[in-house]
Amino acid sequence: NAGVTQTPKFQVLKTGQSMTLQCAQDMNHEYMSWYRQDPGMGLRLIHYSVGAGITDQGEVPNGYNVSRSTTEDFPLRLLSAAPSQTSVYFCASRQDLNQPQHFGDGTRLSIL
C-alpha cells in the first residue's frame, strides 16, 4: 500500500511564484488535512477536507488554497509564495474524525 503520497519532495521557489503541492491517498479516506511544520511550532493545520467538494480553513490558512474534487486527491496551492511560507508541508488522511491520521513524508519548500 502506498498510503499518503506527496509530491514533490523538495522545491525551491522565488518570492511571488505560485505552485501546487500534490497529495494523494489510496485508503479511501474521507478526511484529509494539510499541515506545516516549523521549528519550535509543532504541526499547524492549514486547511482540511471532510469529503469531496468540502473544505475548510485551519489555524494558518492565509496564502494557501485547497480544493477536493476527488476522494483521493487534496492539492495545496500557494498563490504568491512568500519567504514566511518556507516550511515542511505534510498531508494527512484518516478514515473518520475519531481515527488517527496517516501522514505522508512531506514536501520541503524553500522560498527565496
Partner 1 sequence: QKEVEQDPGPLSVPEGAIVSLNCTYSNSAFQYFMWYRQYSRKGPELLMYTYSSGNKEDGRFTAQVDKSSKYISLFIRDSQPSDSATYLCAMSPLHGSSNTGKLIFGQGTTLQVKP
Q: Are strands 19-25 and 76-78 parallel, antiparallel or unpaired?
A: antiparallel
The one segment of 16-24, 65-73, 75-83, 98-106 that binds partner 1 by CB under 8 A: 98-106
Contact flag: residue 48 with partner 1 (CB under 8 A): yes
In this structure, the number of other CB atoms found within 10 A of the CB of residue 31 comes to: 19
Between the CA of residue 3 and those of 7, 15, 27, 57, 96, what are the distances in Å?
13, 32, 6, 24, 15
Which residues, numbered 15-34, are part of the site for partner 1 (CB under 8 A)? 31
Q: Which three cell numbers stand for residue 11?
A: 522545491
Pick from 16, 18, 20, 56: which binds partner 1 (CB under 8 A)? 56
Contact flag: residue 62 with partner 1 (CB under 8 A): no
Residues of this chain that interact with partner 1 (CB under 8 A) are 4, 31, 40-45, 48, 50, 56, 58, 90, 96-98, 100-106, 108
